[in-house]
Structure 1
Amino acid sequence: MPQRSEPRRRPRQVRAELTRHRILTAAAHVFTEYGYAAGTTNRIAEQARVSVGSLYQYFPNKDAILAELLLQHIDDTEPPPDTTGLSLPEAIRRIVHRTVEHHRVDPRLLRMMVEEAPLSQDLLDKISRYDRKRATELRDLLTGRPEVRLDDLDTALRVIVTTVELVTHTLMAAPSPVESQRLEDQLVTMVTRYLGCGDDQ
């Protein structure tokens, strides 16, 4: 039988929620320090100051813990920035900046989550909703902008959202990461030129 990757239960009481949060915080620390292979549930339980039995009341295995950390990462994204009155390059910069900042918290842990977390249906559904939300935000920004010259807006939206997300993740989580401001500058230039509206201002 395949291993479960979903949490066993969602705590209803404050004390139980705090314990669950402590386990997740401990897991992030253990995975970052030891790596995923050596980041055992025993180490996570010790770091969280709970018994292994207590840990298993919340998560069936470390795959479920890693998947939950990735879900939290997706949920923690900030709301769309206010781009009212901004030029298109300025608005694109704010959107790109949000993505870059979202990846600065712990790039090593993020790389581990994305590359090793089991892709449960819940996780796949949330990633899909995340991508659609980003595309909708971008559509709202681009609609009515005469400087945008695209023949296939729907495909372009998906290309931009996916490219910015994957490039940011890959380069900031690399062993020799690109400095965040330089990455932001290059992404803004890339997206604005792709849209057909020239260089960043």
Structure 2
Amino acid sequence: MTKRLEPRKSPRQIRAQETRQRLLAAAAHVFAEHGYAAGTTNRIAEAAGHSIGSLYQYFPNKDAILAELVTAHAEEGLTLIRRRLAEGPLPETLHDKLTLFVRATVDLHRDQPRLHRVLFEEAPRPPELLVTLHSAERQIVAMAAAVLAEDPSVRVADVAMAARLVVGAIESLVHRFIASDTPDDTERFSRELVAMLMRYLTCPESPGPADPAGPDRR
């Protein structure tokens, strides 16, 4: 990660660690309340109860703080999926396995929808941060591919691509739904999303387009 996005201080003492966490928590609140443009370091420092000089001891600018928040979000998503998959035997049906992935993603976005909107719709995404996000996505896709490959009801031929599509659809649609101004019925949304994915994964492969220059064409 470039110097612009690197934290200036990696605290070792408990008090310094607590200060850093207060700054990150305050930043999450400020960005959710005011958006990216108006989420200034002065507002963050004030919300945390620290001076602006204290903030700059830990972070060189607000983009470095945002990078920390986005990285934490990606790591939390990975941890949540891993934990749900490791809690016990996987559900027997494909429907319930998909529900596990959908509900984990909903739970990840549910608590701070306005912050997620800022992080993923307003804030810049430098290349270094995209590397982190893509790495997390690849790991979740790998977990999904392993689950789909072992389920006999999955009918798609290209399971690796199907896993990418499933994970991408869940992440994108959940984010758009939760970040909307009035997400009215999360359970109904989750059921319909799972039903959509079920139809895709269990539909027999359709033949490709006919070759216009095939053997019957003279």
The alignment's TM-score, normalised by the length of structure 2, stands at 0.83
Q: 1:31-180, aligned counterparts within 5 Å?
A: 31-77=31-77, 78=80, 79-81=83-85, 82-180=88-186
Question: Which deviates the most, 176-185 or 60-69?
Answer: 176-185
Question: Which deviates the most, 106-115 or 34-43?
Answer: 34-43
Residue 6 of structure 1 is matched in structure 2 by 6
1:185 Cα deviation (Å)? 0.7
1:163 Cα deviation (Å)? 0.9
Q: What's the secondary structure of 1:36's corresponding residue?
A: helix
1:121 Cα deviation (Å)? 4.0
- Residue type of the alignment partner of 1:100: V
The answer to whether the 8 Å contact 1:80/1:137 transfers is no
Q: How many correspondences in the alignment?
A: 197
Q: What's the secondary structure of 1:37's corresponding residue?
A: helix
The answer to whether the 8 Å contact 1:107/1:173 transfers is yes
Larger radius of gyration: 2
Mapped to 1, the partners of 2:32 and 2:66 lie a distance apart of 11
Runs of at least 5 residues in structure 1 that lack an aligned partner in the other structure:
none
Q: 1:14-33, aligned counterparts within 5 Å?
A: 14-33=14-33
Taking only the aligned residue pairs, the percentage that are identical comes to 45
The answer to whether the 8 Å contact 1:67/1:118 transfers is no
The answer to whether the 8 Å contact 2:30/2:39 transfers is yes
The answer to whether the 8 Å contact 1:67/1:117 transfers is no
- Residue type of the alignment partner of 1:192: M
Q: What's the secondary structure of 1:109's corresponding residue?
A: helix
1:178 Cα deviation (Å)? 4.6
Mapped to 1, the partners of 2:8 and 2:107 lie a distance apart of 32
Residue 190 of structure 2 is matched in structure 1 by 184
The alignment's TM-score, normalised by the length of structure 1, stands at 0.89
1:117 Cα deviation (Å)? 3.0
Q: What's the secondary structure of 2:37's corresponding residue?
A: coil
1:159 Cα deviation (Å)? 0.9
Mapped to 1, the partners of 2:123 and 2:89 lie a distance apart of 34
Runs of at least 5 residues in structure 2 that lack an aligned partner in the other structure:
205-218
Mapped to 1, the partners of 2:84 and 2:129 lie a distance apart of 22
